[in-house]
Amino acid sequence: MPSKRTRLDRLISAELKVNRGEVRLMLARQRITVNGVLATAANQVIEEFCHVTLDGKTLRAKTPRYLMLHKPKAVVSATSDDEHTTVVDLLRDKDGEGLHIVGRLDYNSTGLILLTNNGRWSRQLTAPESRVQKHYRVTLENPIQEEYVEAFKKGMYFAYEQITTKPANLRIIHSHLADVSLTEGRYHQIKRMFGYFQNPVSDLHRTAIGSLSLDPALAEGEYRNLTALEVSELTALSEGLSI
């Protein structure tokens, strides 16, 4: 199977089991198109989702897919697991085929999870430098104090890893409930930040990623495709563009 990103002559050669000289002859005879345009260069770079045809017959036509899912508790953010139900297990039939998870949620955390087959998109969306905000509703076991707000804003030092977290926003809703938004996704980060004040998190629910909020019509375990507008807005955010 050809790699996700390859040269046009390598793709045609691998698909048809012909040598590259024959591919160049096909190009000279204007038999090959890429995304509806006649191809002329053997070294043209073919991306994962390019549409390639020979004599009008499709050789490559992979479609990018983007899903949002409402993750329940007791489900792992993985494509496979020998002991636990995974996010992909929640998808019907072949809906999960070829998809991977964009970021993670802990085993007992709930809320918005994204899945895609577009590796470049997911890497861009989760890269720290993209600074895409993730939003969470957090329930605490003990009352939340005003001093937490400034501590989250300044960032916290974790001695074990010798790192200081990037600034995060904490908004107190009431004594035991808060909204938190941050651009990082370090291991158990929110739980550890509240743990700095010896205040355990009893419930963690992701409500949004960037401009995309969890669809309130989705019950736990349900999912739907993202709209073209939702995909483009998230892409623009991850690229640092205005929307």
Rounded Cα distance, 187 and 115, in Å: 20
Q: How many residues appear in the chain? A: 243
Joined tokens for residue 112:
């918005």
Rounded Cα distance, 44 and 39, in Å: 8
The two beta strands, 6-7 and 45-46, are antiparallel
Q: Which of 81, 95, 106, 179 is catalytic?
A: 106
Catalytic residue status for 203: no
Ramachandran assignment for 168, one of left (phi > 0), alpha (psi -120 to 50 degrees), beta (any other): beta
Whether residue 8 contacts residue 43, with contact meaning beta carbons closer than 8 Å, is answered with yes
Q: Which residues are catalytic?
A: 106
